[in-house]
Amino acid sequence: MLCRGLLVLACLSACASSQASGPVSVFADTVEVGGASLNVDVTHETREPRKLEIKLKMRVNGMEETEKLVADVHISGFNIDEGSTHWDGFVPPRQPQTFTVLLSVPEGIDTAKATVKLLRSRDSMLLLHEELNFAISESGAVTPIR
């Protein structure tokens, strides 16, 4: 009986750790925007069956504010549940900015795509372009296609 209890406990522990994977970084780098050095991190995280959260985190290195920036997430196969697919603004020193959108995949769709772009506003200079492709299983798991 003790052996079976330990086996069940080990299985529950393994299942719990596979469910709680946390955010997955798909792009992390530093880009130069005028005189500012900007750390950029794009992550995605499965929130529940058929739902995905995409985040763009931006933080300035140093004391120089960025020029005005524009971020967009272009989607195909997704619906927007929370947030917006557009952000614009500045990233001041010591004031990191995070742009978040929660997406869902409707029933009957088995693949979806999100493209994250970050541009400098004044001349549309492309600073970041990441295409994220996902497969959706019958159980609703949203997994990246590499």
pLDDT, mean over the chain: 88
The pair phi, psi for residue 84, each rounded to 5°, is -135, 160
Q: How confident is the model at residue 6 (pLDDT cuts 50, 70, 90)?
A: very low
Residues 6+ apart with CB under 8 A from 92: 60, 65, 66
The pair phi, psi for residue 17, each rounded to 5°, is -70, -30
Q: Model's pTM, two decimal places?
A: 0.83
pLDDT of residue 9: 34
pLDDT one-digit tens code per residue, 18-68 = 444 799 999 999 999 988 999 999 999 999 999 999 999 999 999 999 999
CATH class of 22-145: mainly beta
